[in-house]
Structures are given as structure tokens and as C-alpha cells.
Structure 1
Amino acid sequence: MTLVASGLPSATLREVLGRVTAIPELRPAYEQFLTDDSVTLTDLPVLTKEKLADALEGVVRTARARPHGAYVYGSGGTTGTPRLSLVPTGMFVPEIVRHWQPLTADDILVNFNTPGRMWSSHNFFNAVAHHAGAVTVPLGSVENDELADWLDFVDRLGATALDAPPSQIARILEFCASVGRPLPAFRKLLWTGEGYSGRAAEITRRLMPDSRLYGVYGSTESWVIGVNEPDCPVDTFHVLPYQHVEIQDGVVLVTNTHPECVNPILRYRVGDLGRFVDCPCGRSDRALQVLGRDDPQLKFVSILLLPTDITEVARAVPGVRDVQLVLFRHGRPDERMEVRLLVEPGTPREATEDLARRRVLTQVYKLGWAVGSSPDRFTVRVVDELVVNQQTQKTPLVVKTETVPDPAHSNEN
């Protein structure tokens, strides 16, 4: 069953169909609908990331024929074969800030999102600040050994706001707490790129309870779908007028109706699960609650697992602050998994590793059985820091690598 947030006018659907069928790689799947006067949105096929990637050459040719410029941004993949996306250089910001105004001309925004490498968030927040008339400090990501000096610098400027992925906001706050440094005077925290939950939410509530959170939800392909304000739950977003959202069997589909949209976003499968809700912020429009990824399972030693099942058990161990899964040579006969733990200062490392290992292997369905004959396939280790994506500065839940782990770091029982 498909539930549609609001009706999509026939004329708008025709406009979007026209843009999509202008791309040669997609035309065969859609041209039959051009002559059907009774066609509705739900008659059309779902557009997947793979189909959109296959249409890249046509999308680039389309962009070159437009009267406005476009950015090429990366949305995933590897450095050898990245998934690429084209976004108008205006990034829809004039329309977005009509419905989401996190900054005013009195603000000084420190942009902690990483610039370059085809990553989009840095440019986006600079543009949001520009439209507000705010001062912007385009700092980018800062390593811990430089963080104190840069925080002193932004303090001297009188910074009032920052933007960063939630895991990086948590890192900055944790750093200040660990060295006894006064917290920066950020009263506004702007975020995107990952959910604001778990460790990041707990640290923010504890250390900066009066800060106001402003988030946006979307993807590099569809761009910003919805916006989140301080009175909204952090998993709930108000859909922008130029975006049309459907929920099909729990899966989020989006159609971008903006006339400057470069990507052929027509019933695009974003990759998330969601539902429509009444937001407690009091706005009259229904909002989109994001419930997680729509295909979160992974296969490890012949069984299907939800990574969150493992991390939830590990996080419940006393002293554990955050958890990350690392898969070594995933999908190969010698694949291994390591559960990495960030713990509170003073937490006994070995005892915590042992307890987390026992709990995960007994509480996660079939995992203990699957690794019982090869206990070296599964290890748990306390680490000083988790792996961070150097391009996006996100902290992924699951990391995959071909590098074989150092035996000295294992704790097989």
C-alpha cells in the first residue's frame, strides 16, 4: 500500500516526467507514460541509487544545457568508483531558508564540516549563513591536537553557532569536558548527515542543555527533503514544498519538483524507513519521522545480522559510551568482526571487553552459535577513538576494511 503525503498535481508530474525522459539512460523506463493522460505518481517505477548512477552521463549533459550552474558532489562509494550527484549551485537555499531560519545577521557561524573532496555540507552551510547575513568561519574539520587553539580562536571572534555532523559535535564537547576547558558559547547547533541520537544527543543534553538544534534531512541526490527545528524531535522533519514524499511499505520515496533540480529525482528511494506523524512542535503540517535505514542487514559468517542489535547490547555494558563494528575482509572465507568500544575514563578495559563479548554472543540471535567453532572470527576491543570518515567527518556504525587486524589487539576467549 502507498500513502502519499499530499496530491501531486498532474501538471507538476508532467514537468518532472519531461525532465526524466530527457535523459537517454532513463527514457525507456518512462516514455510510455508521457502519452497516458490518466497516469498517477504511483504508476511510475521506483528510482534506485543504482539506476540513478547509471544515468550519470545523461545527467551531466542535461546540466550543461541548463541556464544555471551545477556542483558535482560525491554521495558514497569508494575513491575509485564514487557515486556522483549534480546539484544546482544555488542548492535550493533561497527556498529552504523560507521555511528554516536557524541563523540571523547577529550570528557568527563556525563551519566544522569538511570542505572539498566533493563533499556538500560545507558549501551548503556557508550558503545558509550568507542568506541570513551572518558571519561565517569556514574552518572545516579540526583534529584533536589542534582543537584547543582553534576553539580559543572562535571564542575570540564571539562565535554563536556551529555546524557539523552530530558525532563531531559530540567529539568537540567531549574534548572540552576531558581537558576541563570551558565550553564555547555556541547557542545554536546546526547538523545534518547522520541521526542526532545516542551518544551525541546524550552529551549535548548534558553539556549544552540550552543549545538549540537545527537539522536538515535528505540525501546528496535529492538534496534537502525536510527541516528540523529546536521544538521538533531530532528524528522528525517538516517536508519542504518542492519535495513530494511517499511512504511505500515503510520506505521513503521522494520526488523533487523544483524546476532547477538537475538529478532526475522521481520516486527516488532514499534508503530510509519512515512514517508521517504530527510533530509536537505545533506546526500544522504533518512531518516525516525517519525510522532508520531500509536495508540495514549484513551477512556475517553465513547469518544475517542487524548491526544495531550488536551495538545496542554492547552499549548496555556499564561504562560503554559508544560502539562501532569493523568488518575485516567481509564476505571472504576468513572474514572477521571486531566490536570497538569507547568507554568512560576509569572503566576497566579487559573486564569490559570480556563482559561485552559474552553479552553480544549470548544475546544476539545465532551469533554465538555462528562463531562457536571459530572464536577468533569475533573480537571486542576498547579503543581510544572510533574510525571517522575523513571526507565527511561522520562516524559510521559499520566500517569495512581489507586490512587484517593485529593479533595483539584481539581478545578471543
Structure 2
Amino acid sequence: MSIGTAGADHVLAEARRWLGPANDPDDLQDFADLTPWTFTRMQDAARTRARSNGGLVVASGGTTGAPKLTVMAPNLGVPRLLPHWRPLGAGDVLLNLFSPGRMWGAQYFYNALSGYCQSTVAPIGSLAPKDVAEWAPTLAGLGVNAIAGAPNAVARFAEAVSANGVDLDVRTIIWAGEPMTPARSTVIHEAFPEAGLWGNYGSIETFVIGVNRPGCRTDVFHLLPDQLLEPEDEGALLSRVGEGWPAPAVRFRLGDRVEPMTCPCADGHAFRVVGRVDDQFKLCGVMLRAGDILERAVTIPGVREAQLLLYCDPADPAAVTSLQLHYTEAEREAHGVRSELVRRTDGLDILDLSVPDTVSVKRVAVLERSPRTDKVLPVLWRDALDPPNHGGHS
């Protein structure tokens, strides 16, 4: 079941627009003739457009390998977005917690969003909790009433605000890049009880695809008009028609699996991100998905954030020999979290009966974050020769 307002005929017409001079548009007569675009094909189209209209280069990766560069429209698609999702207005002051530098696109995007909304932006980047008290007078003096950041970064900022007695009248929280879990939402609303949550979903190759507004479930997004999402197990296919998008797309395969949903707000074309395509692994003959384990972990009472460590055979990196869940929380003991996780997760219950030592849980002070984006890394891969510390899991 496809999601969206763009029909097959519209997508066919869009595909014909991007055919090179050596191709005959009459060769595309049916939707089934449309071969999904690769990232290289998308970038060829984006660079072609940039030669006439200009472009902005953004990057993903670069922490452990070469950066992946993407050419976006100079306005990053903000004018097309605003009729359907406008979290800011004239006079608002946005604190942008997304990391700056090295062409990281989120910083640019929220600066541009603020400008098009006639708001003021303070592009400070991530603030460590110990720095919040020092910056508090400056932020209060600026009149900050909106915050943009990854949910874990906004939650850490909110905790520091509460701990230091900082008074900020925040009415808008803009979030993206990772799930807005119930625990993160609770922490944010304890510090900013009047704040509405405005989320969006996209990728570095496409920027915003769908949006989430106050009144929506925080795990549901609404597809922007003139797009089509085709859910597939190999990754959803995204198509866009018309002008004004940050990047063109004709059946471009995303790295996420999605499924149609309904939302309490009653707006249509809703979907949920089920998980990454590449998050499936086998442990002792049992097939598991990292996303499923993490999704269930953060619903356990007392668990705020979670991260999965997968230990692999060095001779066969695809062979996972054990897993350990790290979580942050002040009081809940690891053995209780493990019992709940096993009970709630298909597959882990089987492993618990046959090879219980392959599944462990550990409470930690902090989870490992990307030094580039400050997002919590959902999965960490480790060498099985460096066994997990099972402290307190049973």
C-alpha cells in the first residue's frame, strides 16, 4: 500500500524530466519501467539542477570514513515545507543545538527555517550540561522561546535548565534525527511544560520527507504533498514531483522500512518508521532486529535511553556471538530491565532459555554519541575477543 498524493502518472512524468539527451522519453510508458534511482543517479540530477539554480553541499559520515556529499537546493526546500509545517513565527528566537561545521546539514537547515519564518536564530550547537548555567543569562537575555535539536540533546539541555533554575519560556521544540521516546518527552516537558513538539523525518540525501506536529503521535509522520512512498522490506522508495524540493527523487530507495499508520490528529498520509534495513542480525540461529530490541527497551518503565552493543566473531564480522543492552536510568536495576526486555522481545525469550549468557544488560552513566552529530548511536559493533562486562545483569 503506497502512501502519498503523487500518482503513478505524475511520477512517470517526473522521471521523463530527468532523462538525459541519449534517452527517449517514450521508453518510459509504465510505472513498472521506472528503475529505482541510486544515490549516484540522484546526485547527477541534483548537480544538473545546481548548474542552473545553484546548490548547497551538505555531508553525512566522515567520522570513520570519507564524508558522503549531497547537493541540495540553496533554500533547502524550506519554502515548499512552510505551508504544511511552520513551527516558528515572527519574533520567535530559536536556539539551534544541532552541531555546526564540516557541512553538517541540520545546522544549515534550521538556520534557514528560522530565517524564512522571520525568526531570530542563535546557532550555538550542542551545549554540555556544565555550560548551561554559564550561558543562561545570555539565552534569557536573547528571549529564547524555541529550541531545535536531536531529542537526546534537547532532553539533556532541559535537565540542565531544570537543575540550574534557568527560566526560559520555551513554547516550541523542534526535533529530528532520532526517536522522541516517552522518557525524553517527559524530561523536556518537565522543564518546558508549555512547549509543543514539532518533529520531522528525512535523510541526508533528501532532507524533510514527512512532518510531525503537536497533537500527533511522536512516532508518526505525515508525508508532505506531491510525494509517494512505496513501503518495501528492502527500504521504502521515495518519489517527488514538481518544483521546490531540496533534492529530486524518483523511486529513490531510503535506508528505512516504513509502514502506513493513522494519527490522532486525523491528518492523512501518515506513516511510521519501522527500522533500518540493515539492522537485522542472527544470534545463535535466532534472527533479530536491533530496532525492535531498542524500541521495546525504551518502553520499559525507568529506562530513559538505550544502546545496543553487538559482539562479532573477528573471523566473520557478520556472525554475532552475543549482545548487550546499555541503558541510562537512576534507579532501575539491570536484572529487572533484562527480565522485562526478554519478556517483551520475540527471539530474546528463546535465547534466554537456551543460551542465556548471550544476552546481557548493563546500566551506564552515559551512552556513546556521535562526535559529529551528538546523536546517540543506536548500535555499536564490538570484537567478540573483547567480551562484554556483564556487571549486574542477573
Secondary structure in 2 matching 1:365: helix
Matched-pair contact (CA < 8 Å) for 1:62–1:262: no
Matched with 2:286 is 303
1:44 paired residue among 14, 34, 37:
34
1:72-116 superposed Cα distances (whole Å, 9 cap, x missing partner): 323458532444322112111111112222111110111001112
Secondary structure in 1 matching 2:53: coil
Matched-pair contact (CA < 8 Å) for 1:314–1:320: yes
C-alpha distance in structure 2 between counterparts of 1:250 and 1:276, whole Å = 19
Amino acid aligned to 1:381: K
Matched with 1:387 is 368
Cα deviation for residue 323 of structure 1 reads 1.9
C-alpha distance in structure 2 between counterparts of 1:94 and 1:60, whole Å = 18
Cα deviation for residue 38 of structure 1 reads 3.7
1:290 aligns with 2:300: no
Matched-pair contact (CA < 8 Å) for 2:78–2:113: yes
* Residues 8/160 of structure 1: CA separation in 2 closer, same or farther (3 Å cut): same
C-alpha distance in structure 1 between counterparts of 2:339 and 2:228, whole Å = 46
Give the ranges of 4+ consecutive aligned residues of structure 1 lying more than 6 Å apart after TM superposition.
Answer: 406-409
1:35 aligns with 2:26: yes
Matched with 2:83 is 98
Cα deviation for residue 289 of structure 1 reads 2.2
C-alpha distance in structure 2 between counterparts of 1:195 and 1:392, whole Å = 14
C-alpha distance in structure 1 between counterparts of 2:64 and 2:9, whole Å = 41
Matched with 2:5 is 6
**Which structure has the higher relative contact order (CA within 8 Å, separation 6+)?**
2
C-alpha distance in structure 1 between counterparts of 2:46 and 2:29, whole Å = 31
Cα deviation for residue 316 of structure 1 reads 6.3
Amino acid aligned to 1:195: P
Secondary structure in 2 matching 1:136: strand
Amino acid aligned to 1:340: H
* Residues 260/160 of structure 1: CA separation in 2 closer, same or farther (3 Å cut): closer
Alignment of 1:331-410 (within 5 A): 332=317, 335-344=321-330, 347=331, 352-360=333-341, 364-369=348-353, 371-372=355-356, 375=357, 377-401=358-382, 410=391
Matched with 2:20 is 22
TM-score (norm: length of structure 1): 0.80
C-alpha distance in structure 2 between counterparts of 1:397 and 1:275, whole Å = 24
Matched with 1:151 is 136
Matched with 1:202 is 186
Amino acid aligned to 2:116: H
Cα deviation for residue 406 of structure 1 reads 8.0
1:381-404 superposed Cα distances (whole Å, 9 cap, x missing partner): 221111112222222322234597
* Residues 67/396 of structure 1: CA separation in 2 closer, same or farther (3 Å cut): same
Matched-pair contact (CA < 8 Å) for 1:126–1:138: yes
**Matched length:** 386
2:308 paired residue among 325, 348, 353:
325
C-alpha distance in structure 1 between counterparts of 2:132 and 2:385, whole Å = 31
* Residues 102/57 of structure 1: CA separation in 2 closer, same or farther (3 Å cut): closer
Secondary structure in 1 matching 2:135: helix
C-alpha distance in structure 1 between counterparts of 2:11 and 2:297, whole Å = 48
1:293-326 superposed Cα distances (whole Å, 9 cap, x missing partner): 2534223344321335544665566643332112
RMSD: 3.4
Using the TM superposition, name which of 101-110 and 299-308 deviates more: 299-308
Secondary structure in 1 matching 2:86: coil
C-alpha distance in structure 2 between counterparts of 1:8 and 1:150, whole Å = 50
Matched with 2:72 is 87
Matched with 1:172 is 157
Matched with 1:239 is 223
Identity %: 27
1:229 paired residue among 189, 195, 213:
213
